[in-house]
Amino acid sequence: MNQYPIFPLFLTTFSIFFLRISLVFSTTTTLPLQLKALLSLKTFLNDPLNTFHDWDPTFSNPGFQPIWCSWSGIKCDRKTAQVTSLDLKNRNLSGTIPAEIRYLSHLNHLNLSGNAFDGPFQAVIFELPYLRALDISHNYFNSTFPPGISKIKHLTFLNAYSNSFTGPLPEEIIHLRFLEYLNLGGSYFDGSIPASFGSFPRLKFLQLSGNALTGQIPAELGFLTQLERLEIGYNEFSGGVPVEFGNLSYLKYLDVSNATLSGNLTPELGNLTRLESLLLFKNRFTGTIPLRYGQLKAIRFLDLSDNRLSGTIPEEFSALKELNQLSFMNNELSGKIPEGIGELPNLETLLLWNNSLTGVLPQTLGSNAKLLAVDVSSNSLTGPIPPTLCVGKKLWKLILFANKFAGEIPSSLVNCTALSRFRIQNNKLNGSIPYGFGLLSNLTFMDLSKNNFSGEIPKDLGNAARLEYLNISENSFNSRLPENIWSAPNLQIFLATYSKLVGKIPDFIGCQSLYKIQLEGNNLSGSIPWDIDHCEKLISLNFRHNSLTGIIPWEISTLSSITDVDLSHNLLTGTIPSNFANCSTLESFNVSFNQLTGPIPSSGTMFPNLHPSSFIGNEGLCGRIFRKPCGNGGLSDGEVEVRKQPKKTAGAIVWIVAAAFGIGLFVLIAGSRCFHVKYSRRFSDDREIGPWKLTAFQRLNFTADDVVDCLSMTDKILGMGSTGTVYKAEMPGGDIIAVKKLWGKQKETLRRRRGVLAEVDVLGNVRHRNIVRLLGCCSNCESTMLLYEYMPNGSLDDLLHGKSKGENLVADWLTRYKIALGVAQGICYLHHDCDPV
C-alpha cells in the first residue's frame, strides 16, 4: 500500500522541474533581446551629457544578475532578471526611440520626462503590454497624440504634461479602465473636453490646464466619483462651473482659474467637504459669493480674485478654521470685513486689495501668530492698524496704502523681524515714526508718504541694512533730516518731498547706492554739501522749492550717471559752473528762480538745446540763450556778438557769391538726399534721424553716440520679435549691453512717442533681482532703442527649452523650481510692490 503514492509524487516533482526549466528557458531567450533594446537606446539617442557612460556590456557584474541590471536608470526583477523599470528623466536626451524598445516586454515603469525629445510621439511604446506608468512630460513631442494607447490595458499613470501636442484630446484614453492619474496639460490641445472623460471609473487626478480648449466644461466630469484633484484652468471655456461638480465628494483640489468662465459662482461647490483648495481666480464671474462656501470645512486655499464679484464677504467664512490663504483681490466687493476673519487660527495670507471694502480691519488679525502677508490696499478701510499683525514675527509683507486708516503706527511692528515690504502711504495716519524700523534686517521697501506724520525722523533708518526704497513725502515732520540718512548701504531711492523738513541737507556720507534723491517743496536751508560726488550712482537730483543758499557745487557735474538736476526756486548765488558743459549724460537742468549771475554755458551736448525757462528768475544771468551779452558785448564761452554791418568790399562780394554757391549746392545735395531717403526707407530699417537723446537710469560709461556707432558696426543679433530686434553691443569702454531697437513708424505721432518714452521712464525705475534691469533709453524723432543688461547665459527660454535640437542646457528640477519662483517673485513685485513713478 505504501507504493501507490509514489507515482503522483513523481508527477508533481516532474511538473515543478518542467516549469522551472521552461521559466529558465524563457528568461534566457529574452535576456539577449533586452540587451539589444538597451544598447539600441544608447545608440539611437543623442546623449550630450554622456549619461549612458556606464551602459557598457564589457564591464563585469559581481552579482548574479545580468550586467545591465546594475546600469543607471534600470531596475530588474530579482527572480527573472527582466527589466521592469527604465528611468531616463532629466538627461537632455533627444532623437528617435528605437523600435527595439518593445523587447523590454516586462517593463512596467517608463520615465522619459525632462528631456529634449521632439517630433511625433513614437507609438512603439504602446507595444509594451505590462506598462503601468508612462511619463513623457517636459519634452517637445508635437503633432497629434498617436493612436494605440488603449493597448496598454493596465496603465494606471500617464503624464504627458508640457509638450506641444495639437489637435483634439485623445478620446481613446477612456478605454484605460485602470487609469488613476492623467495629465495632458501644458500643450496645444484644442476643441472641447470629451464628455466621455467623465467615464473613468478609478481616476483620481485629471490635469488638462494650459491648453487651447474651448466650449463648455462637460457636466459628465462630475461623475468621476473617485476624483481627488481636478485642474482644467488656463483654457478658454464658456459658461460656468457645472453644478454636477458638487457631487465630487472626494475632491481635494479644484483649479479652474484663468479660463474665461462667466456667470455666477456655483453654490453646489459648497458641498465639497473634503475640498482643500478652490482656485477660480482670473475669470469673469459676477454676482455674490455663495454663503454655502462657508461650509467648506477643510478649505485651506480660497482664491476668487480678479473677477467681478460684488456684495459682501459672508460672515460664514469666520468658521473656516483650516483656512491658510484668503484672496478676493481685484473685485467689486463692499461692506465690512467679518470680525471673525481676524480670529481664524491658521490664516497666513489675506489679500483683499482693490475692492470697495469699508469699516475697520479686524483688530485681532495676526493674533494667531501665523500671519505672513496682508494686502488690503485700495479700499476705504478706516480705524487704526491692528496691533496684533506681527505677534508671530513672521509677517513679511504689509500693504495698506490708499485707505483711510487713522491713528499711529503700532509700535509692535518694529519687532517684526521678517518684514520686507511695508507700504502704508495715502492714509490718515499721524504721530511719529517709531524707532526701530531701521533695525529690521529684512526691510527693503518702506513707503510712509501722504499721511500726517510729525516729529523727528528716526536716525536708525540710516542703519537699515537692506533698505532700498524710502518714501516719507507729504507729511508734516517740521524736523531735520538725520545726519546719517544717506548711510543705509543699499538705499537707492529717497523721496521726501513736501514734508516740512527744515535745517541743512546732511553731508553725503555713505551714499554709494543712491540713484534718486527728491527733497522738493521743503524749507531746507544752507548750502548743498560739496561731497555730493560721493553718490557715484546718482541719476536724478531734485532740490527745488527750498531755501538753499550758497553756490552750485561743481562736483555735481562730475557724477558720471547724472541725467536730471533741478535746483530751481531756491536762493542759490554765484555762477553756473562751466564744468556742466562737459557733463555728457546730463539731459535736464533747471536752476530757474535763484540769484545766479554770470554766463550760461553754451557748449556741450545739452545747454544749446535748453529752453530759457530753465534759467529765468535769475536777473544776473547772461548768455546766448537770453540773447543778453555778458560784458563788453561778448557772449559766453568766448563767442562774440557781431553788431556792426561790414563794408561791402570786393572781398565781401566774393564771399557773398561763394556763400550763394554753397547754399545752392547744399539745396541740391539735400534734395537728392531726401529723394534717396524717401525711396530707400522701404529697404532699410536701420536709418536713424538725429540728434539722439540718452536717458540713463543708472551710471553709464558711454553716450548715445557710442551706442549708435556700435550698432552701425555690429551684426550680432541676439533675437528678433514682434516689437523689435535685440543686438549685442560692446561699448568703447568694454561694457557689453543688449540693445533692443523697437520697430516704429517713420511718421510716428509726437503724442505716441512721448507716451512710449514716459513708460520707459517708469520702467527705468524698476529694481528687482529677478527683472532684467533697463539701463537707459536712446531716442530721436523716429527711433527708440532700449538698453538692457547683457545676459551672457541667454534667455530663460533657451535654458528651459534649448536654442535648437540637442542644445538644451537641461535645468534640473531644482533649478526649474528656482526659475519659476524667481519669475513669480518678479511678477509679484511688479503687480504689488513696484511704485517706480
Q: How many Å apart are CA 368 and CA 390, to the nearest integer?
A: 9
Q: How many Å apart are CA 421 and CA 433, to the nearest integer?
A: 16
Q: How many Å apart are CA 322 and CA 644, to the nearest integer?
A: 92
Binding residue per annotation — 741? yes
DSSP lists the bridge partners of residue 742 as 724
Helix (H) or strand (E) holding 141: strand 140-144
| CA quadruple 345, 350, 356, 361: dihedral, nearest 10 | 50
Question: How many beta carbons lie within 10 A of that of residue 286, not counting itself?
Answer: 15
Residues of 124-163 as b/e, b for ≥16 C-beta within 10 angstroms?
A: bbbbbebbbbbbbbbbbbeeebbeebebbeebbbbbbbbb
Question: How many beta carbons lie within 10 A of that of residue 346, not counting itself?
Answer: 13
Amino acid at 194: P
Contact, 172 vs 195, CB < 8 A?
A: no
Contact, 594 vs 567, CB < 8 A?
A: yes
Of 218, 228, 217, nearest to 275 by C-alpha is 228
Of 518, 538, 607, 563, nearest to 696 by C-alpha is 563
CA-CA-CA-CA torsion sign (360, 363, 367, 371): positive
In Å, how far are 267, 437, 461, 480, 494 from 488, measured between CA atoms? 53, 12, 7, 17, 11
In Å, how far are 248, 416, 490, 508, 738 from 442, measured between CA atoms? 44, 10, 12, 24, 32
Q: How many Å apart are CA 273 and CA 65, to the nearest integer?
A: 51
Pairing of strands 469-471, 445-447: parallel
Q: How many Å apart are CA 805 and CA 117, to the nearest integer?
A: 9
Contact, 115 vs 73, CB < 8 A?
A: no
CA-CA-CA-CA torsion sign (436, 438, 444, 446): positive
Of 665, 693, 699, 648, nearest to 784 by C-alpha is 693
CA-CA-CA-CA torsion sign (60, 61, 64, 66): negative
Q: How many Å apart are CA 192 and CA 188, to the nearest integer?
A: 12
Which residues participate in the annotated binding site for ATP? 741
Which residues participate in the annotated binding site? 741
